[in-house]
Amino acid sequence: MLGQTQHLVILFVLTIMLLFAVPLSGDFPLKQHVELRRQSSFNKQLDSYFIGVGRGIFWANTVLEVTGQQPLFCTPEKLTLDDGIILSLIHQEVRSRSKDPNFANTPVELLAVKAFQIRFPCK
């Protein structure tokens, strides 16, 4: 009979094995996004996720600018990127690409970057 400590060790080892057995991916394919959007119960979580992605893109661009590197996009000086603008940019790009089957496996995070570049090109 196994003791409590041995049970905990076995449970820990099994948990670690499961974590490494499940493939992890940071990409969120467009087709998965479209499927989740159809279920309105996920819209709030998706919006929160994309606001975070958009803010990350904005701050990465800011770092490029302040370090003298070529920015990904150039926002107008007086524009404040609030949640509504971020979501609008990303939603427009996602909607336009979701009609094209060639983009089904494209990460929506990449589409978000492209949304900023298309809307705010550097001249």
- Reported as a single tens digit per residue, the pLDDT across 47-106 is 999 999 999 999 999 999 999 999 999 999 888 889 999 999 999 999 899 888 888 889
11 found inside a domain: no
What's the pTM value of the predicted model, to 2 decimals?
Answer: 0.74
Q: Based on the structure, what is the number of domains in the chain?
A: 1
48 found inside a domain: yes
66 found inside a domain: yes
56 found inside a domain: yes
Residue 72 near residue 117, CB atoms below 8 Å: yes
Q: CA 101, 28, 26, 52 torsion: positive or negative?
A: positive
Range of the domain at 59: 27-119
